[in-house]
A and B are shown apart, each in its own frame.
Chain A
Amino acid sequence: MAITDDVLVIGGGLAGATAALAAAETTEDARIRLVTYKQSTLRHASGLIDVLGYAPGTTDDQQQPIADPYTALESLPESHPYQRVGIDAVRDALAFFDEIAGDAYAGAHTDRNALVPTHGGTVKPTARYPVSTAEGLASDDRDTLLVGFETLPDFDAPLAAAHLEAAGAPFDARGVTLSFPGIGRDDAKVTRYAHLLDHDERVETPSVTGETGAREALAATVNPHLDEESRVGFPAILGDAHPAAVREALSDALGAAVFEVPMGPPSLPGLRLEDLLYDALESAGVRVTSGVPVVDYETVAADSTGENSTADETTTAAIDHVIVDRNGAQIPHEADQYVLATGGLVGKGVESNRERVTEGIFDCYVPHATDRYDWFVDDVFGEQPYARFGVVPDEELRPLGTDDNPEFSNLRAAGAVLGDYDYAAEKSGAGVSLATGYVAGTRAGEACQ
C-alpha cells in the first residue's frame, strides 16, 4: 500500500507551504500532504515578504528601488514567473498571505513598497513586513537609537546607524553596543536570547542590584543610553513564542517605540514565519512529513486503464507515485496531483555537476548552455546566468520538456525551482514563491476535485 493523498506537495519552504494551503482551501474534502526533506529553510529568511524591489536587468549601483511593484510587474519579460501566472494572481496570492498572517504582518494597506532597515544599515524595499519591524521604517522621520550587543557581532549598531544616515534616511540615527544581561558566552544562540525574553527569566545585572526579569534588565541596560530618540531598534532576537509581549514590555519600560532589525540566518522573524505557516497547515488539516527525501517516481503505465490514466493527453505521462527514502527503506507515496517546490540552486531543488544542470527528482528540463563556462560571467554582481536556472513552466505551472509539452500531466512547479528570474537581484523571492505556490496549489486542488 502506498501512503495515499489527493495532493502531494514536495518542499517545505514558502512556496510549498503556500501551495499546500491553497490546495486545502480549494478543495474541502481533499487530503493534502507536504513532504519536506529538511526543515524549512524559512529560518534562513529575513521574514520580509518582497514582491519586486528592483527592476531586473539593471546592475547599476545607482539604481533606485521600485516604489510600486505592481506597476513594474507589467514590464517584466514574458518568461518571468510573474508573467506566467499573471498580475492578478500575484495580488490574489498576497491577499491569501494577508489572511494567513493576520496581524503578525503589516503593509497590506498600500501597493507601495515599504523601506525596512536591515542589519547592515541598508534598506530593503518590501511589500509586507513583520509587525515587529513596523516602527522602524526608514520613511518614518523619528530619530532612532539602534542597540547592538557585544556578544552578537552580526549586528554592529553604530555602523548600521552611520550607514542609514549616509544613505539619506530622513532622521538622526545613533548606535550603541551594550552587554546583554544574562548572556555570558560570546556565541550564545539567537534562540537563547529569545528564550530569556520569552520567559522573562531571572538574570543578574550590574545596573540593578540583584536579579530581575530579563525584560526589565534589558530595558535598564538601554535606558541610560537613550537620549531624545523616540524609537529604539534591536537585532531581531526579541522573543520567539511571545514577541509582542516582549516588545510591549520593553517599550513601556523605555518610553519609546521598539522595533526589530531583521538579521541574517538563523533568523527569528524567519522562524516565526515558519511557525505561522505550519500552524496554518495544521489548522487546514494538511499532513506534514519531514526529514525524508523524495528520491524517485513511477509513471502510470501507458496501457493502464486505472483511474490515473489520462486518455485525453496521450503523449503526456502522469506520475503514479513517488518514492520517499527513509534510511534505505522505500516508502511509496501516491497522489492525484503533485506540486514540486524544492527550491533552486541554494535550496537544492536544482543541482549541477560539471556536465549539466538538473532538477533532482523528476529530471525536468532545465535550460542551460552546453559549455559550463557560459553559466556565469566574471563580474560577480553582473547578470549571472546561473541565477536564472530552473524549470520552464506553462501558464498552469506545469514544467515543460524540450518539446514544449508538459513533462507530466499532474505535476506543477512553484518557487525557486522555476527559472527565468533572479530573485537575489530583483528582491522577488518571497513574492514569486507566494504567487506561484498559490497558483500551483489552487490548480492542483481544482484538478483533483
Chain B
Amino acid sequence: MSDAQRRIDDGAPGEQPSTGGADGSDSDSDSGNDEFEPVQVFPEAEEMDLRPGADNCYKCSTCDTNCPVAEVDDEFPGPKFQGPEQWRLKRQDDHDIDDSVMKCSNCMRCDSACPSSVPLSQMHNTARAEYVEENMSKFSREYLRNRLLANYRRLAPLASMFPRTANVVMGLSVTKWLGEKTLGITSEREFPEFATETFREWWTDRGGAKVENEDKRIAYFHGCYSNYNTSEVAKALVRVYEHFGYEVMVPEQSCSGTPMFANGMLEDARRAAETNVRELAAAIEDGAAVIASCSSCSMSIRQEYPELFDFEDTETVAANTWDAVEYLRVHEDLTGALEDTAVGDEFDELAYHAPCHSRNQGLDGQTIEVMDAIDGIDAQDVGDSCSGISGTYGWKAENYETSMKIGEEMFEHMDAAEAETGLTECPTCSMQMEHGTGYEIKHTLEVLEAALGGDRAESGAGSGSNADAGTTTATESN
C-alpha cells in the first residue's frame, strides 16, 4: 500500500525501469537537478536469468549454517556455493555445474535462512536440472534410478492394482537386494505399503462429495502418497472439511513435481505442473480454494511453480493454494470448534516433527498451536532439525548414511519425548521417523478428524447420515 513497500532497486531483469522512481508519481516534485536516468547495463534476458538473486548475496554464509547436509558431510560445499557462487563461476568461464549439486537434498532450508532474499532453492533447482541434462549419462544407473524415484507416481498405479502382491514382493529381501545392487536404492529401508484401496477409488465408490455448497468449496490436491499409500489421510481431510460444510472437489492431478525437482528432472516436472495448473485453475474458476495435505505438495505449487514455470494462471494457482490446516484456521473458527473436544488414547501423547517444507512456509508452529486446543493431547515439538530423508534423497544407497546422520538429532529428541506416536505432515519425514524410532506416525488431519468426530464408521458408498450432518453444518455456518 504505502510507498514504503516499493523497492526501487529490486526489479527483475528485463523489467523496463521508468524514469524517476518506481511509480514516477512523486518524482516530479523533485528539484530537478538530480534526475535519475537508469541505463540498462546488461542485455535483457531471453530466458530465465538468476543474476539479480546472485547479486543480492553478500556472502554472510547464514545459509551454510542451516544446511543439514553440510553439517554432517565434509564433501558438500553448501548452499552458498551451489547457488550464487556457482552462478558467478558459470558466467565467468562457462564451468560445468559441479556434481556436488546432486548431494543437495532439496530441503530448501536455505531459502528462509537468507536475510537477503536470494532465491537459493530456485538456483539449486535450475543448476541441478542443467547438471542432469548436460553432464549425466542418460544410460547411467544413477539416471535411471533417479528417473524411477522421481516418477514414483508412474509405478504406483501398477502396484495399486495388486497391492497385496506388491507389498509382499517389495518386502522380500531379494527385492531389496536387487534394488540396491541394480539400482542403488538402499536395502536398509522398508518400502512403503500400498493401500488396498486408493483414495480416488474410495472417492468414486463413495459417490464423491457428500456436501454441496457453492459458497464454500475446496479443490483437494491429494498428491501421490495419500492416494496410493496413506489414503486414511486423504479421507480424514474430506471428513474434516465436510464437517465444516465445505464442498470437496477432487480434480484430475499429476505429481506435484517435488521428487522431480529434487532429481533434476525439470522436464518431467514441467509436464506434471502444466496439468496441475490447468486443472487447479479451472477449480479456482469454479470458486474453490486449492488445499493440500502434504507440505511438499503445497510448497511446490506455492513457491516452485512460480519460480520455475510461467504457464498461464501459475501465479493465481500459487496464491490460492493453502495448507489444509492453515486454511481452516483462517477461514473457520478452528480453535473454537476444537474446544472441549477430546480424542482417543492413541493420540494422547504426540511427538511432533515440523517438516522442512512446512518450516519454509512459516507453518512450523501451527500444528502444536492447533493441538493445544484439544483436551488431553500433549503434543511436543521434537526440535528444529531436519529428518534427513528429504523425499527420494534418503532412498539412494549413497545418501543413506548421510540421511541417518542428519536424522540422529530428531531420533534422539523423539526417544526423549514422552510420546510413542509421532506426528508430521510430510509422507517421507514420517517414513524416516518410523524407520529411526519404530513409532507409529500420524498426520495432523487424522487427529483433527478424531477430535471433530468425523464419522470413522463410514464405509464404502453413501452413508446417508453423514451427508446430512455435513449439509446441516453447511447451512448453519452460512
Contacts and interface: CB of A to CB of B under 8 A. Distances in A.
Nearest to A195: B71
A289 B365 contact: yes
A295 B322 CA distance: 18
Contacts, number: 148
A259 to B, nearest CB: 22
Interface string B355-384: 000011110110001000000000001000
Nearest to A292: B362
Interface in B363-414: 364-365, 369, 381, 409
A271 B64 CA distance: 13
Nearest to A190: B65
Contact of B7 (A187, A189, A241, A351): A351
A38 B21 contact: no
A1 B319 contact: no
Contact of B74 (A192, A295, A355): A192
A189 B65 contact: yes
B219 interface: no
B286 to A, nearest CB: 19
A326 B117 CA distance: 14
Nearest to B21: A355
A167 interface: no
Contact of A327 (B34, B71, B319, B369): B319
Contact of B4 (A324, A328, A331, A360): A360
A11 B458 CA distance: 46
A266 B463 CA distance: 59
Interface residues of A, number: 53
Nearest to A154: B61
Interface in B55-87: 60-62, 64-67, 70-72, 74-75, 77-78, 81
Nearest to B75: A185
B113 A39 contact: yes
B3 A358 contact: yes
A192 B1 CA distance: 43
B196 to A, nearest CB: 36
B26 interface: yes
B273 to A, nearest CB: 15
Contact of A329 (B64, B66, B322, B333): B322
Contacts of A190: 61, 64-65
Contacts of A271: 65
B291 to A, nearest CB: 12
B302 to A, nearest CB: 4
A189 B329 contact: no
B303 interface: yes
Given A191-B70, A192-B74, A327 B62 contact: no
B62 A265 contact: yes
A291 B362 contact: yes
Contacts of A192: 70-72, 74
Contacts of A191: 64-65, 67, 70-71
Contacts of B8: 353-354
Given A3-B330, A191-B70, 19 more contacts: A1-B330, A38-B113, A44-B62, A44-B115, A195-B72, A291-B111, A292-B361, A327-B302, A327-B306, A328-B302, A328-B318, A354-B8, A355-B27, A358-B2, A360-B4, A360-B5, A361-B4, A363-B2, A363-B3
